[in-house]
Structure 1
Amino acid sequence: MKRTLINFRHVKRELIYVFIGLLISACKTEPKTTEIITDTIVDAKVDSIIEVNEEPIQKSTKEIKAELTAKGFKTFDYFDEKTQDTILMQQYFIAFLKRGPIRGQNEEETAELQKEHLAHLGKMYELGYADISGPFGDDGDIRGITIYNVPSLKMADSLANADPMVKAGRLEIEIHPWWAAKGFPLR
């Protein structure tokens, strides 16, 4: 009986050693796993930060001017005395959409023409031909404007006259060359 007790104590002691060994082993390997996971997370965060913080390479005014000139756009440099900056001016074309002579469409036809008109203007914007469009807030003869970012009056006129409202005679187009500083936002 005494021998069985000793064996039980011996087994109990060995189990405790094994359990302690497992705990120590688990403690040793867990930080390595955590470090690997942490390193991966940190690497992923660094990659994300690099991707988000990378700014597109900005072209110089000289490069922009050369590209515009090669595409047929008219430009000139303007020196601003106040800021001491040289500003690149580009010729755009502003199209005034005026009340046309054919205004007898019924409500349904007018609604369909308006839908097609807005789709046309959206397409001009998406293709990069128009920078901004919008109606005027009064009920005057000039109904709205579109600013075309194209190299010639002929191209602006062609695009403006392709508008379904113009084709139907509900609107007429009057286009003028218009100069603006390249890259300056509206405020």
Structure 2
Amino acid sequence: MKVVSMRVIKFSMKCVREGSSHHCQCTKLEVIKVIRVIEEDIKEGTCVPSVRLYNTILKCLCDAGDSELAVRYLKKMTKQVGCVASKESYSILVNGLCKDGKYVEASRVLEEMLIKSHRPGAETYNGLIKGLCLIGRQYEAVMWLEEMVSQGMLPDISIWKSLVASVCCKMSDIEMFSMSSF
């Protein structure tokens, strides 16, 4: 294996070791450098990246606050080397998008995840449902709640709090509007 490929391995080990607290400590610049190295190695035929390596990169991009780049990279990894995204790949993206406040995009990724027959965990649904409530998209939040329950998962108390608070805020807006129209 080339020395360049060893840099990829070192990056991966650093992120796995430091990321054991479920947070990658690598900077976005470091991740982008590794992506370039991987792409060079793929072209030279010296590297066939695994979904595990890609998941590490996706996680680091999301932790660095660039979940949109992570989504684009997932699509590229599928086209470029035919690496099939795993349940974990999609969960990383949904959670990263939610962390960045991109709940509509997270909904799209979750839909794609379900189409690919990957079953999300409760934590993936939780973040999305709470986020949709935050931005006033209660209908979509309830739709995802129904999907979650249909998958045999029970929502935790925080989801119910988010839904109730969101609906109550919406109702008070409606009441204030109707009172001001007299």
Report the TM-score when normalising by structure 2.
0.21
Higher relative contact order (CA 8 A, sep 6+): 1
Larger Rg, first or second structure (1 or 2): 1
Report the TM-score when normalising by structure 1.
0.21
Structure holding more strand per residue: 1
